[in-house]
Amino acid sequence: MNKNMKAVILAAGKGTRMKSETTPKVLHEIMGKSLLGYVIDNVKNITDEQFVIVGHQAEKVEEFVKSKYSEIGAKTVIQSPQLGTGHAVSMVCPFLENYEGQILILCGDTPLIQEKTLNEFIKFHNDINSDITVMSTLFENPTGYGRIIRDQDKHLKCIVEEKDADDNQKKVKEVNAGIYLLNWAKVKDVFKDLKPNNAQGEYYLTDIIFWGIEKKLNVNACMIDVVEEIYGINSRQNLAVATKIMNKRKLNNLMSEGVTIVDPDSTWISEDTIIGQDTIIYPSTYIEGKNVIGKNCKIGPCAHLRGGVEVLDNVKLGNFVEVKKSKISSNTNVGHLSYIGDSELGSFVNIGAGTITANYDPLSKIKSKTTLKDNVKIGSNTVLVAPVTVEEGANIGAGSVITKNIEPWALALTRSPLKILSDWVKKKIK
């Protein structure tokens, strides 16, 4: 963590093209994690405080930041009315009156940016003693992005938004990535001087470039070559594209570290999932949220891990198994068509096909825990009604509904007597 750097994350926009009445743009999710969550996670290790600028549906974004990130120093700042990106950053000025460090500015709808890239950007800024640095990249089709305009000596001259660009400027392929690093003590006065001299009548953050040059500050653009990392989310189509990019990146990283992905085209694994060597992920498996999977495991096909899952070594999760907020210890097998939620499974446990942990009471809305100790064996088509504990070595007969704790090494079963009516079918046919 850099105690001389703070982050400002722009998250006040409405996101009209997302066509959502209930969810702010930055709270739309990729594999169980919000766009804003990705951005905060990528700056939390390099900044000591994060200011999230909120506006549209502010209360929802505020609640998200408070519940997920307040412990790391993240806080929200209201922008009302929303008068542009420059106006948004100016909202933090009262909190930074005596601050003399650096400010990293990002957009809350760019989930693909990585901490490694941000560190390289920061190093570029510091190595050349820059006062204002903007991140840029080259797009073959730059439509929609602000253009980086350089002079004949290739020095940064200004940034022109697409709506204000002339025909020649629109041909420029170097675009603004929307990420800035400012030496705050030298730059903070710009937010008193910004003017809405543009087609939108807004206070553009991009105008700080021209202001800095006028003030004889050291102003630069740092070009990165990982184009996909600055991909912004403005529509559901963008969201789908970003999800594919992120998933492909994750799967490639896992395979390079010794994980077998049988069919990358049908497998989805979240960025926050850790998987050990020699584990095999079979086709059509979907793993979202934050999870840890050990070595030599077999997952799927068609398995679904919903987050908060810890799987130790040599575990098998079969076809159509769903797991949520559970710990599964080593050498345990969970048979196909099973649901394991809010549970803790010991080692050498065997879960028969069709087993369900009934963890949710719809009347009280309380979720309870199921605990299966080492060497427990659960017969197929069993329902374990939480809260319940099955002690070490106990066996549960197939088709049982378990509502009480089971003592060690016992056999438990709930089963009506079998009735056989001879020739019943023949009589029925006659």
Please say whether the beta carbons of 158 and 149 come within 8 A.
Answer: yes
Q: 212 Cβ partners below 8 Å, 6+ apart? A: 131, 132, 187, 190, 219
- Please state, in angstroms and as integers, the Cα–Cα distance from residue 190 to each residue in 93, 183, 208, 217, 280, following that order: 11, 12, 7, 12, 54
Residues 274 and 334 in one domain: yes
pLDDT at residue 10, rounded to an integer: 97
Round the average pLDDT of the chain to a whole number and report it: 95
What CA–CA distance (Å, rounded) separates 24 from 405?
A: 45
Residues 32 and 168 in one domain: yes
Give the pLDDT band (50/70/90) at residue 112. Answer: very high
Give the pLDDT band (50/70/90) at residue 1. Answer: low
pLDDT at residue 374, rounded to an integer: 98
Three-state DSSP at 59 gives helix
Position 427 in a domain: no
Going by the DSSP 8-state scheme, the letter that residue 416 receives in this structure is P
Give the pLDDT band (50/70/90) at residue 164. Answer: confident
Q: Is residue 336 annotated as part of the catalytic site, yes or no?
A: yes
Position 424 in a domain: no
> Which CATH number characterizes residue 250's domain?
2.160.10.10
Position 429 in a domain: no
Query: Distance of alpha carbon 133 from its chain centroid, rounded?
Result: 27
State which residues form the domain around 344.
236-412
pLDDT of 280-291, one tens digit each? 999 999 999 999
Mean pLDDT of 221-239: 94
Catalytically annotated residue among 28, 56, 87, 336? 336
Residues 198 and 254 in one domain: no
- Whether the pLDDT of residue 30 is over 80: the answer is yes
Residues 186 and 252 in one domain: no
Position 425 in a domain: no
At residue 255, φ and ψ (nearest 5 deg) are: -65, -35
> Which CATH number characterizes residue 175's domain?
3.90.550.10
Position 182 in a domain: yes
Q: What is the DSSP string of 357-405?
A: EE-EETTTTEE--EEE-TT-EE-TT-EEESSEEE-TT-EE-TT-EE-S-
Residues 69 and 218 in one domain: yes
Residues 110 and 197 in one domain: yes
Looking at the chain, the whole-number percentage of residues with pLDDT higher than 70 is 99
Position 426 in a domain: no
Give the pLDDT band (50/70/90) at residue 177. Answer: very high
Beta bridge partners of 74: 50
